[in-house]
Every structure is written in structure tokens, then in C-alpha cells.
Amino acid sequence: MSKTNKRVLFINPTKKRRTETDRVHLGFCLLGSILSDAGHETRVLDLSFLQHVTDAAIIKDAQWHVQDFRPDVIGISVFSFLHRETVVLLRELETIWNGTVLLGGPHFAVFPEDFREFPNVDYVVRGEAENVILDILQPNTLTSNPTYIDAKPTNPDRIPRADLSVVYGNQHMTVFQIQLSRGCNYQCSFCSVHRVAGRQIRSRRIEECLEEIIAARSEFPAISNIVITDDCPGYDSLRLKQFLRLMAQSCQGVRLYIDNMRADIVDEELLELYVAAGGENICLGAESGHPEVFKKVHKGESLEKIRAAAGLVKKHNLLLGLCFIIGLPGDTPERHYHSVRFARSLEPDYCYWNMVVPWPGTAVYKWYEENGTVEDQRNFTTLVNDRAQFDSPICDSREFPKRELIRAWLIANMETHDLLVNPIALPKIMYLSIKYRILGSFLAYCIRLLRSPSKFMAFINRGIQIRWGKIRSILQGVSNK
Ligand code: SF4
């Protein structure tokens, strides 16, 4: 390696037992590809992904990687819900290492001035870093500390292929993520995607995407799950259908998932192609089942469309997921229970009930500024773990105070979301049911569970999986000593 070539360590922090995932940070793999092509050496340390890996032998902390890899540059991906963990990591790095620190990630789309007070941060990239990463590695780019760089959206023809070889622990990857396009031209009231990826759709060539998937599978045969993570994958349903057709023809034996599906593009042909391409589930963003609340979301589709799409998903024997948000503008406890009834009427296989997060720059944020209270969005996550650990809401209104939001969340989960209630979480759910005076819902849930042998077995299996995962990692830790 020549002197001008750099060693770059990318780190994705994690929240212990909250942000575990089987997906590796896609953005880092794309940057890794650009850096490798230019002769730099890259390592991606995704601590959220490594939480998912049960091989204790490869679990090393950031400090170990700094000593082992000896980077010239460390890039950290900042998600707002991992703000605290990023701060801790920066403080730790300050004491052990003295190279160039670069921050980027979706956090800066909503908090563009953050991290000014950290003397060891050299660069903050706002926007997509692909266009600027090589310039940053040039000597003497720095003008102030930190230097904020506003990166332009990447031209779709210049979005590189993900380089998985740079991922630490890549032998444990079973999932490959890919974006066929970036950006979304809808204007849902709660969504901040336009600040991250823009409203203009940037489409990649689907043949190129398919080649990338095939190449990734041939290099890493353990990959058996392909996830399309576009902001709005169905903006052009003909194009999506063509992609599915090609997937079915040339990429057999995989499970395919598409994030962020809209109901208005779901039709018979799309689902037939999706099943043929390995699709197993569809999760529809319903947001609210109450007509007045739904209308204010400005989703650009209707509840009737969502109902019809849900019916088609079930007709094609796909698992049906639904995604709702509690506490949207105009929501009240009564309207929320209407939403729960709507959800149940669609007979979903699983449901996500997310607490509303008013992101700066969204209509929901403006509404809460005028009609309620908003606390700091940093460090809040809607993710819930197997122990039913969840964050308290960060906003409320006179119509939907915090205590009611939590009650609403608990009831909705017990009514529709069997995954949350497992033997490990059960004592906590019972305690919360007493605290929030919804013991009736808890008992109704238990009765439903006991009456359905398949649900009961799933409940027990989930408990065994959680306990076995823990025991296995302890045993591996002991045998590796
Ligand atoms: S369609 Fe999805 S990505 Fe687009 S604005 Fe709505 S929620 Fe955001």
C-alpha cells in the first residue's frame, strides 16, 4: 500500500439488546467499494450486526479493532436513536487514538449542526457521502474543526455495488440488502425521508442490480435473504414487476423481502411475480385505521386500498404485516382503538405499533409544536426487545397524553402482536397491565393464546429461542477461553 493510501475503519454503533439486526450497514459497504477501487483499505465494523452473531469468538469491541486494524481514518454512522452511543464511542476514541474522525448518516439530515463541540471530530458529511469520500481522504482538505460538508445526492449510475468483503464477520451474513432506487416523491406527514434521500426518484438499472445480487450470492453462499430497501420501491410498479420477473428467472432459492411497500401498487400480477421471486411476506404501512387521522397523513392512498391489498396478500398465502403509528395528529385513545379494530379486521400475521416521532422538517413536528409538547428526539427508538423494553413517548398532546399513549401501545400489541408477548416478556407485560389498569386486555390475550395451539406453541418456541441463544453464546464464550 502506498503512503497516500489510507486505512479506513467504519463503525456502526449499537444499543445493547435493542438494535440487534441481521442486516449489515449498506452505506458502509458502498463506501467500502469506492475506497477499495481507489486502493484504500477498509474495514466495516457493524456492532448492531455483530450483536446478532452468536459466534462469541469474533465479538471484539471498537478498541480492539482500532489496535488490530490501525486505521488512519474512522468513519462513524450516526443514527439519532444511537446518539448517546456515538458520543460514548467518540470519547473512547479520544483516549486511545489520534487519527481523522468522520461522521455521517441520517442524523445530520434532521440535526445538521450536531457534534460541533467534539474536538476530535474532523468532518461531518451531510447527505450521501459517495461523492465526497475520496476528497476527504486527500491531505489538507480540512478548513475548520469539524468541517461540515454538504454532499450532493449521488447520480444513480454512480451508485457503486456493495463490497461485502470489507465487512468484519462477513462469514455470518445471511442477508443482502440492495437499493434499486433512492428518494420518494410522496409527502407523508410523519416522514423525513425527503431530507435524507430527496423527493426526486433516482433509479438504478435493474439489470445491474440483479447482477449485483447474483455476484453477492456467489461470493457469500450463506446469503439466502435478499432485501430491497428502497425508500419507495413501488413508485413505478411496471419496473418493480420487471425486476421481480428477472429475479424469478435468474436468482432461485432465495427469500425476497421488500421494505416500505405501499398498498396502492399491490395487485394480483405483482403478488404472483413476488411469490415466484421468493417473496414470503408483505408489510403494508397503514399508519392509522381511523379515517380522520389517516386523512391527515396525506399518504396519497386510501384505507380501502389498504384493505384490498391486505386481502390480496392473504389470498396469495403471503404473511401479512401491518405498520401503524400511535399519536399522529388528530389521534385520540378512542380513534386509536378504532385503528386496532381496523388492524384486527385485516387479520395480519404480525403488526408493528410505532410511537410517533415528530422529526424536524415534517408536518407532524409542526403540528406538535402548535398542539402539544415535543422532547428531544435523540436516543429515542421505537424498537422493542424480547424483554418488552421500550422507550417512553417523546411527545404528547392534551387529547393523547403520555400515559394514554403507553396504554394504547400495550393494548394494541396484546391485541395484534403475538411476537412481543413471549414467556420472557410476560411478567413485565403483566406488571405493566396492572400499572396501566388494562388487566382485562392482558387476561383476554392469555385466553386467546391458550385457545390457539399454534399461537401457544409459537409463544413457547420464542421463549426457548431467546433462552437458547443466551445459553449458546455463554457456552461459546467458555469454550473459546
Ligand atoms: S411513501 Fe414512504 S418514504 Fe415516501 S413519504 Fe411516505 S412514508 Fe416516506
CB of residue 175 inside a 6 A radius of ligand 1 = no
Q: Ligand 1 pocket check: which of 260, 266, 294, 296 to mutate, most ligand atoms within 8 Å of Cβ?
A: 260
Instruction: Look up residue 279 and give its DSSP letter.
Output: B
CA 422 – CA 467 distance, rounded (Å): 11
pLDDT (0 to 100) of residue 143:
64
Ligand 1 centroid, distance to 439 Cα (angstroms)? 36
Of the candidates 295, 258, 289, 284, the residue with the CA atom closest to the CA atom of residue 352: 284
CB of residue 231 inside a 6 A radius of ligand 1 = yes
Q: What is the CATH number of the domain that holds 102?
A: 3.40.50.2300
Of the candidates 114, 126, 50, 64, the residue with the CA atom closest to the CA atom of residue 92: 64
20 part of a folded domain? yes
| C-alpha cell at position 101 | 474522525
Ligand 1 centroid, distance to 357 Cα (angstroms)? 14
- pLDDT tens for the chain, residues 1 to 481: 555 799 999 999 998 877 889 999 999 999 999 999 999 999 999 999 998 887 777 778 899 999 999 999 999 999 999 999 999 999 999 999 999 999 999 999 999 999 999 999 999 999 999 999 999 998 766 666 899 999 999 999 999 999 999 999 999 999 999 999 999 999 999 999 999 999 999 999 999 999 999 999 999 999 999 999 999 999 999 999 999 999 999 998 999 999 999 999 999 999 999 999 999 999 999 999 999 999 999 999 999 999 999 999 999 999 999 999 999 999 999 999 999 999 999 999 999 999 999 999 999 999 999 999 999 999 999 888 777 888 999 999 999 999 999 999 999 998 887 656 678 888 889 999 999 999 999 998 888 888 888 777 777 877 777 666 655 555 555 444 4
What atom in ligand 1 is closest to the CA of residue 260?
Answer: 2
Protein residue closest via CA to atom 1 of ligand 1? 186
Q: Answer whether the bond into residue 119 is a cis peptide, omega within 30°.
A: no
469 part of a folded domain? no
388 part of a folded domain? no
Output phi, psi for 147, to 5 deg: -95, 125
317 part of a folded domain? no
Ligand 1 centroid, distance to 76 Cα (angstroms)? 26
Q: What is the domain count for the chain?
A: 1
338 part of a folded domain? no
CA 181 – CA 171 distance, rounded (Å): 27
Protein residue closest via CA to atom 3 of ligand 1? 231
Report the amino acid identity of residue 465: Q
449 part of a folded domain? no
243 part of a folded domain? no
Q: Domain containing 30: what range?
A: 7-156
What atom in ligand 1 is closest to the CA of residue 231?
Answer: 3
25 part of a folded domain? yes
CB of residue 184 inside a 6 A radius of ligand 1 = yes
Of the candidates 160, 117, 123, the residue with the CA atom closest to the CA atom of residue 142: 123
